[in-house]
Amino acid sequence: MTQALAYESEAIVALMGQPETQRNGQWLQDALQQAIMLELATLPPYLCGLWSIKDPERDRAVHDAILTIVMDEMSHMGLVCNMLTTVGGSPRIAHPDLVPKYPGPLPGGVRPRLSVFLAGLNGVSLDMYCQIERPEDPVAEFEEPSTSIGAFYSAIRQAFKRNPGLITGRRQVEREMANAHGPGNSLVPLATPKAVDDAVQVIMEQGEGSHSSPKNPFFGREGELAHYYEFRQILNGKKLVEVPTAPEGWAYQGDPIAMPEAHRMGTVPKDGWAQEPAYRPSEAVQALLTKFNQRYSELLRWLERTWQTDDPQEANDALAEAEATMVSLASPARSLMRHELPDGSGQTYGPEFLYIPA
Among 176-180, 293-297, 333-337, whose mean pLDDT is lowest? 176-180
pTM higher than 0.85 for the full model? yes
Taking the CA atoms of residue 216, residue 222, residue 228 and residue 234 in that order, the dihedral angle to the nearest 10 degrees is: 170
DSSP letters, 117-156, are: ----SSHHHHHHHHHHH--SS-TT--------HHHHHHHH
| pLDDT, tens digit (0-9, with 9 covering 90-100), for 190-238 | 999 999 999 999 898 887 655 557 887 776 667 788 899 999 999 999 9
From start to end of the chain, where are the E strands?
Answer: 238-242, 250-256
Question: What class has domain 3-264?
Answer: mainly alpha
Q: Given this model, what pLDDT does residue 154 score? A: 92
Direct distance between the N- and C-terminal alpha carbons of the chain, in angstroms, rounded to an integer: 18
Among 150, 152, 157, which residue's Cα sits nearest to residue 211?
150
Q: Given this model, what pLDDT does residue 220 score? A: 65
CA atoms of 64 and 68, how far apart (whole Å): 6
Among 99, 199, 191, which residue's Cα sits nearest to residue 153?
199
With b for 16 or more beta-carbon neighbours within 10 A and e for fewer, the 262-298 pattern comes to bbbbbbbbeebbeeeeebebeeebeebbebbbebbbb
| 307 within 8 A of 295, measured Cβ to Cβ | no
CA atoms of 245 and 53, how far apart (whole Å): 36
Q: Is 248 exposed, middle or buried (0-12, 13-18, 19+ CB in 10 A)?
A: middle
pLDDT of 32 above 60: yes
Q: Given this model, what pLDDT does residue 212 score? A: 55
CA atoms of 16 and 152, how far apart (whole Å): 7
